Structure 1
Amino acid sequence: MTGPADLLDLDDQLTDAERATREAIRAFVDDIRPSIPEWYEKAHFPAEIMPELGRLGALGMIYDGYGCPGRGAVEYGLAAMELEAGDSGLRTAVSVQGSLAMSAIHKFGSEEQKSELLPRMAAGELIGCFGLTEPNAGSDPGSMTTFARRDGDDWVLNGSKRWIGLASIAGVAVIWAQTDDGVRGFVVPTDSVGFTATPIEPKMSMRASVQCEIRMSEVRLPESAMLPEARGLRGPFSCLNEARYGIAWGVLGAARDSYLTALTYAQGRMQFNRPIASFQLTQAKLADMAVKITHGQLVALRLGRLKEDGRLQSHHISVGKLSNTRDAIDVARQARTILGGNGVSAEYSPLRHANNLESVRTYEGTDEVHTLVLGRHITGLEAFR
């Protein structure tokens, strides 16, 4: 929200603390930015950055107590935007750790689970993952087949999960499973016998990130591994809404970086003895991109203030996730056209952002799912079944 990416001076709507958080995360991303193309090319996620993200207060940012930063929702949104301006994989890591794994433990965990795990996770010393999606249960998590059965005082888990961020480098996994009493959540040490996490390769998107398939075969857990306050799908859905909120902000970072890359290029690229930024069609593209980014910032900021007031609802989040992600992809693709043939080079970010955003568009609810969430809110009629 600054300069040519802020057409309506929205920076004025931020507090000093919010701007300070944004600048701190932006400086961190700028420091690591030269390494990002190589991480993307080599399909490498630098797990060593997690403690630094912890020191910056980016992990579990909006939660209080247990070593968590206790920051505002808009601060977290701005952090997500700056991280994704580097790469979607950076924001995804923070989202998986904070909005999903830490969120589940903070909302639904026992006092022992919170005290033992959250301080280490907030510091980036312990990495977590969140196992909900399955090979045959994506948009319909209620059809999950992972099952936890009672065996004396223990629970025994069997099943598989897919597209689980950070799983192969995580020390703890929040796993959702069917039980005889409905869907329940479990805190599973990833070194448990029978638990394996295998990175999914090769990928054409989110390459500087880790997504895995988890398999669980007779994974035995004590009674204390269950999240006591989570019953049914409301538990994981509430965590997903935390992640979706961050996405509504984060994708604007990818869009902004794509737009500013194209703008800088257009101002310096000479054709027909003049910079291509002086051509009407180029200016039309730049203006369209800037307007979409500004619209997205307005939506994200409104969501943040609603969240801070305790008034954010699921259909609000669907507006942000659907609209901002869709527009961010359009901006990244449009920015690539301004770069011409150079746009396919790893030297420039827009095509990398566009590829990443295809994953972001799919996870935490596809366009179709969020469209139907809004349709249900508008009409009062259920269209999922």
Structure 2
Amino acid sequence: MTAAARIDELIAIDALLTDEERTWRDRARGFVREHVLPTIADDYEQARFRVELAHELGDGGFLGMHLSGFGCAGAGAVAYGLVCHELEFGDSGVRTFASVQGSLAMSAIRKHGSDEQRWKWLPGMAAGETIGCFALTEPQGGSDPAAMTTTARREGDGWVLDGRKRWIGLASVADVAIVWAKVVDGSDASEPGSSAAAAAPPAAAAAAAGGSAVRGFIVPTSTPGFTATPIAGKLSMRASVQCDVVLDGVRVAADALLPGASGLSGPFSCLNEARYGIVWGALGAARACLEAALDRSVSREVFGRPIGGYQLTQAKVADLVVEYQKGMLLALHLGRLKEAGRLAPAQISTGKLNSVREALRIAHECRTILGGDGITAEFPVMRHAANLESVRTYEGTDEIHQLVIGRALTGLNAF
């Protein structure tokens, strides 16, 4: 029996899944074996991002799969989580691609866009024919988006965007960017005559009228003044691409404004979608490490017998699989809450904090079971451990999620 089968048998999570959920999981597992695992070690070493993954993921139906209509699959939250789990078993960069495309860029358009915007962009994005990115984080700090300095001002019938963004996934290969900016100079995002004003809900229009609301814009990356430069020297997420973005007098038409988003609740609603995917995804990386360590524990002999036959090794794998199992059960519980429409932001923070923290612990301990060989590309453990340091940081650091949970428990805001 393989390590994967031993883990699955001990956890027995299949009994808690529907046939449709298992089908999605198995499809994603096959995708990773065919399209990711054969090349990922070399891709990582060469710092190479394979753009063709967009079409391949689109063909699998994985992009924006949790969204409904406009070419999206309309799958359930648990099915989406299981796919994130399998994609990150391959590499965090692959799951990140699906998250940036589906949970961030596509979700922003689906949640906050007009029907015209949805029909224009979402079918191509779901198919992987159009790549999107989500430009929120700025150089001075990602944990305080309220302090963003990127601005949007009205000019004639359109808008002009200026500012800088950093750590923007996919930006250099994207066809379209969802850019978040503060409306300035007394500009009114809901003034009469704007196509956005007609579609904006009253609350959003009122919030925009003050001239400082955060608004989202759909910006083709070919627009003059938009520049994306891949960040070099990364020791993590090497098979993925993250960029510095400069917006220098980027002019867009009035219909570039996302009419349904005003204030930080707009981007945060998308971030929560991505954070939910991480709850499952990080545990996929952990499972890859566990499988490698368990297989090695029965094949590598020291002092005359397999290292898995020693009590210290068995104590390690037992503790690690217990933590993995607890994380999977929490992810499943959160998925069922999400499907019922009852998942709260603090609960998502609980899952993200736990999954990433425990996945890192699992990766580090699995490396010790592999011995010196564990630092080589022959095994995926060091690659996953390095990637998880990025996953720990983006979509909210440990500290941010601790503060979100602490606020829910105490009723006091410590930000």
Give the TM-score taking structure 2 as reference length.
Answer: 0.91
Q: Could you tell me how far 1:2 is from its partner in structure 2?
A: 6.4
Q: How many residues align?
A: 384
Q: Which residue of 1 aligns with 2:123?
A: 119
Q: Which residue of 2 aligns with 1:110?
A: 114
Q: Which residue of 1 aligns with 2:302?
A: 271
Q: Deviations over 1:107-129 (max 9, x none)?
A: 00111110010000000000000
Partner amino acid, structure 1, of 2:368? T
Divergent runs of 4+, >4 A: none
Partner Cα separation in structure 2 for residue 56 and residue 19 of structure 1:
15
Contact 1:127 1:172 (C-alpha < 8 Å) held by counterparts: yes
Q: Which residue of 2 aligns with 1:9?
A: 12
Q: Which residue of 2 aligns with 1:26?
A: 29
Look up the SS of the partner of 1:307 in the other structure: helix
Look up the SS of the partner of 1:169 in the other structure: coil
Which of 152, 163, 187 is 2:218 aligned to? 187
Q: Which residue of 2 aligns with 1:352?
A: 383
Which of 22, 37, 45 is 2:41 aligned to? 37
Which of 291, 295, 316 is 1:260 aligned to? 291
Larger Rg: 2
Partner amino acid, structure 1, of 2:146? G
Q: Which residue of 2 aligns with 1:332?
A: 363
Contact 2:168 2:245 (C-alpha < 8 Å) held by counterparts: yes
Q: Deviations over 1:94-113 (max 9, x none)?
A: 00000000000000011111
Q: 2:140 aligned with 1:136, yes or no?
A: yes
Q: Deviations over 1:116-146 (max 9, x none)?
A: 1000000000000000000013100000000
Which is worse superposed, 98-107 or 2-11? 2-11
Give the TM-score taking structure 1 as reference length.
Answer: 0.98
Partner amino acid, structure 1, of 2:115? E
Q: Which residue of 1 aligns with 2:411?
A: 380
Partner Cα separation in structure 2 for residue 177 and residue 47 of structure 1:
28
Partner amino acid, structure 1, of 2:89? A
Shift in alpha-carbon separation, 1:81–1:266, aligned structure 2, 3 A: same
Q: Which residue of 1 aligns with 2:392?
A: 361
Q: Which residue of 1 aligns with 2:195?
A: none
> Which 5+ residue runs of structure 1 have no aligned equivalent?
none
Which of 95, 99, 103 is 2:99 aligned to? 95
Contact 2:4 2:291 (C-alpha < 8 Å) held by counterparts: no
Partner Cα separation in structure 2 for residue 382 and residue 151 of structure 1:
38
Partner amino acid, structure 1, of 2:73? P
Partner Cα separation in structure 2 for residue 253 and residue 86 of structure 1:
8
Partner Cα separation in structure 2 for residue 89 and residue 63 of structure 1:
21
Q: 2:71 aligned with 1:67, yes or no?
A: yes
Q: Which residue of 1 aligns with 2:188?
A: none
Contact 1:2 1:9 (C-alpha < 8 Å) held by counterparts: no
Q: 2:233 aligned with 1:234, yes or no?
A: no
Q: 2:333 aligned with 1:302, yes or no?
A: yes
The share of aligned pairs that are identical, in percent, is 59
Partner Cα separation in structure 1 for residue 369 and residue 38 of structure 2:
22
Q: Could you tell me how far 1:176 is from its partner in structure 2?
A: 0.1
Q: Which residue of 2 aligns with 1:163?
A: 167
Pairwise CA RMSD: 1.0
Partner Cα separation in structure 1 for residue 412 and residue 52 of structure 2:
47
Q: Could you tell me how far 1:3 is from its partner in structure 2?
A: 3.0
Contact 1:147 1:178 (C-alpha < 8 Å) held by counterparts: yes
> Which 5+ residue runs of structure 2 have no aligned equivalent?
185-210
Partner amino acid, structure 1, of 2:25? R
